[in-house]
Every structure is written in structure tokens, then in C-alpha cells.
Amino acid sequence: MTQWVYKHGSAAQGDWDVSLGTVDSEPVEGWAYTGLKVADAAAGQVLHLDAADEERLVIPLSGAFDVTSANGEYHLRGRRDVFSGPTDVVYVGVGSPVDITSAEGGRVAVATAPATTKYPDQLVKAEDNEIVLRGNGPTSRQARNFGMMNNIQAERFLVCEVITPSGSWSSYPVHKHDVENEHETALEEIYYFDMKAIDGATAAAEPMAYQGASSADDRPLDIMTEVRPGDTVLIPYGWHGPSIAVPGYDLYYLNVMGGAGERDWRVTIREDQVWVNEALKDVPRDPRLPM
């Protein structure tokens, strides 16, 4: 399991708290198509990425950031934290160095994927984020689809973030996307987590959630792990989920998906759980959404 689960700080490299799957990070056996970097930037600090055959999407997690590429300069207005709403993001195409800085400091993520097609830089403003509500009752969650197939041009990756309110389950019923056919696209996926204690939590509260994944064929996969802020889970294949927001803590995760085939998101729901969606179809969606 340790090949796929990285506790906060265990995948650090240089200025980055998380550096997984990128051109300059230590390789992970069996991982090929997606990457993630996350860093806390001090006020005025410059986070630099060399030019590479890698497409990148810069995502402020907290604070505002300025991004400079070979093709332009972009101001990302950011947000107080990931639970405060969507943010500006910017796609930077292959072959460009990237400098990221924040006047007041903050936390930033960079989603990556190996690529060769040169797409232009693309700024997606917070107000243009596609907000999607999914599920009903205890499976209610909210997705922000700023980096999906209908939102940006890219060669390989698909990027979104999901908010699941305290006590709810997302990535449930569990699903998979690990074969390339008319029903699925083959996509490995990164989950990067944060949580927030709900109002009334004690000062000693330690945010937590749970993430699962399991085998869908003869490839072994067995994950059910407690996750805390800053943890990362890689899911190379198999059934994704559930992602469980335990009572007392709202759950956030950033998803980076990509594969060798079509840039699309088609999934198969596990057959013995299809009934769940049908049973909940008339249950009201959680009134806490959208956040």
C-alpha cells in the first residue's frame, strides 16, 4: 500500500511538500501519466519549474499568486482556503518554464502530465468554473471542473476538485476507469486531501477522512486508509472509493487524472452498488451544497 499512499511530507522535494509523478520527481513504479506538486510559498518566494515536455495547471489552494510563463503573466486571485469557493487557475503549455510567486504567501498546487502537443496558456477565472452537484442524501458532493475536457484544451490530463460535506460519502458507489473502450477511458488518478472541522469543533480537533480503492481484476489493489490534510493517494487502476467525510469534518480533494488514450472521463459503476443511486434518486441533495 505504501507505493500508493503518501502521508504529508513523505513525498517532499526541495521547496515542494508533494512532488509525485512529475518530470523532476523520483519515479513511482507503475505510475506514468500524471503528476502533482504542492508547496507553501512564503511572501515573495519564487517557485520555479524548468521548461519540460509537461503540461501544467497552477491551482491556488490558499492565497493569491502570480504566474509567469514564456508566453505571459497571469494573476490568480486565489481564495482564503479550498472551502471558500473556486479560484482562478492557469494552464501552461509544454516547453515553457514557470515561475510562481505570492505577494503575501499561500499554498499552491501544480497538476502535471507528460505531453508533446503545444496548447496555448489558458486562464480560467473563478467565476467561469463549472460547478457540478452530484449524488443525493448521504452521497451529496460538489465538483469544480476547471480542468476537465470541456473546460480547457490539454493533451492528457483532466483536473477537478471535490467538496464533500461532513458525514457524506463521495466516489460512491465506487467506480473505475482503467480500460479503454466505449464505456470507459483508462485514467490513473491522484487524490490530494484537505479537511476542515465544522463549527463547534474543539481546539484539539485533528481533521481526518478515509479513502478506499480496491482491485477490479487480477491486478492487486487494497487501500482503506485514514487521510489527513496534505496526504496524497495514487490510484493506478481498479475501483475508486469510497471517499468518506467523517462526521465533524468537511472533506476536500484535488483530482488529477490522465492516461495514454482518449482525454475523456467515462466510468463504470460497480455492478453490485448500482442500486444505491436508484434508491437515493428521490432523496433531497444535502442543503449545505453548494459550498
pTM of the model: 0.97
95 within domain boundaries? yes
250 within domain boundaries? yes
Lowest mean pLDDT among 1-10, 29-38, 139-148: 1-10
151 within domain boundaries? yes
289 within domain boundaries? no
The pLDDT of residue 226 is above 60: yes
Count of beta carbons in the 10 Å neighbourhood of residue 214: 17
CATH number assigned to the domain comprising residue 166: 2.60.120.10
Do the Cβ atoms of 58 and 89 come closer than 8 Å?
A: yes
23 within domain boundaries? yes
Domain that holds residue 225: 5-280
Tens-digit pLDDT profile for residues 7-63? 999 999 999 999 999 999 999 999 999 999 999 999 999 999 999 999 999 999 999
- Number of separate domains in the chain: 1
Cell of 199: 463549527
Mean pLDDT over 61-80 rounds to: 97
pLDDT for position 202: 74
Which residues are within 8 A (CB) of 111 and not within 5 positions of it... i.e. 6 or more apart?
34, 35, 36, 56, 57, 59, 147, 157, 159, 190, 254, 256
211 within domain boundaries? yes
290 within domain boundaries? no
Tens-digit pLDDT profile for residues 162-193? 999 999 999 999 999 999 999 999 999 999 99
216 within domain boundaries? yes
